[in-house]
């Protein structure tokens, strides 16, 4: 369950590598090109998206903990 919280944001980091190797257009390639060209608004949006994915992943992990383990109860 805990690993799920870290798995979701790693998709964005993995997409940078995969899209650069195979030449696919997408968010990873856009982020990499923006870093090379120092296009800060696009870099900031991709970092904000990564941060949002971390928050959503942690929220999903916490919700699944409450579903799977009966000892964990919301207050």
Per domain, the residue ranges of the chain are 2-68
Does the pLDDT at position 57 exceed 70?
yes
Distances (CA, A) of 17 to 12, 34, 57, 70, 73: 9, 15, 21, 39, 39
d(CA 58, CA 11): 15
What is the pLDDT at residue 74? 65
Write out pLDDT tens, residues 59-75.
888 888 888 887 877 66
* Cα–Cα dist 60/37, whole Å: 35
Kindly report the pTM of this predicted structure.
0.72
R_g over Cα of the chain? 16
pLDDT digits (tens, 9 = 90+) for 2-52: 777 777 777 777 888 888 889 888 888 898 899 999 999 999 998 898 888
Look at residues 5, 22, 2 and name the one whose alpha carbon lies nearest to residue 57: 5
């Amino acid at each position: 369950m805990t690993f799920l919280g870290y798995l979701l944001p790693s998709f964005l980091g993995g997409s940078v590598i995969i899209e650069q190797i195979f030449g696919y257009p997408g968010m990873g390639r856009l982020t990499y090109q923006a870093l090379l060209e120092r296009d800060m608004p696009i870099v900031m949006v991709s970092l904000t998206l990564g941060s949002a994915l971390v928050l959503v992943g942690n929220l999903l992990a916490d919700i699944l903990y409450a579903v799977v383990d009966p000892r964990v109860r919301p207050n």
